[in-house]
Amino acid sequence: MTSGAHVRSIESLREFRAALHTFVQEAREAMCSYDLEVRRSLDWLTKEQPQRWKMEIRKCEDALVQARIELERRRGMKMPGGEAPSCMEERKAVERARQRRQYAEDKVEAVRKWGFVVEHEADEYSGRANQLHGVIDSELPRAVSMLDRALSALEAYTALRSVGDEYRSSPTEDITRELPAQQDSQFTPQADANTVEPEAVGDPSDQSRPSQEARR
């Protein structure tokens, strides 16, 4: 024999359902934000940065060419005493231009290397994120629907139980209130047409005496 359901707190189930629904909405927003951030970072590293540093290399090459021209021009100058110019500043400028170009070339190589790494990690993330998207978009809404059905069933059960309790309690109270009135009406003495008062009947021997005297 099955026993009744032990319903203790439907309100707690409602709160859990509301919290789960809120979690689904927040998780969707968070996943969308993470996806956008990953794509933005990947575009920055694989598209923007390579273009930037390639342009920087061209600028550094132009600066290096200009520094060499200035160095050659300085070397061709004649000092008042016939001495060759030291060209110290021009040589430093050429060296700085070479260092800037090398720095830009290293950046291009680093960006290319880390671009491969980030692309691989982004692919790994996308695979796991798609699984999580499936849970958020399918499994959790299904759980919310299941909770809705459970709440409806529990509410219907508690409503039916409360009606049953009222039905069991109300007839007894009505009978106990009506019973005294019915007992008074049923047991009230009433005069019967066939009932003869004892005084009117008299003694049968007294009724026979006049006829006897008439005979005498």
HSE, CB side, 13 Å, CA atoms: give it for residue 194.
0
pTM beyond cutoff 0.75: no
C-alpha distances in angstroms, 5 versus 9, 77, 142, 155, 161? 12, 105, 23, 12, 10
Under the banding of pLDDT at 50, 70 and 90, the label for residue 182 is very low
pLDDT in tens, 43-83: 999 999 999 999 999 999 999 999 999 988 888 887 776 67
pLDDT in tens, 135-175: 888 888 889 898 888 888 888 887 776 665 655 655 545 54
DSSP-derived secondary structure letter, 187: S
Which residues does 54 contact at the CB level (< 8 Å), separation at least 6? 108
- DSSP H or E segment with residue 56: helix 49-75
Q: What are phi and psi of 112, to 5 degrees?
A: -65, -45
What per-residue confidence (pLDDT) applies to 193? 43
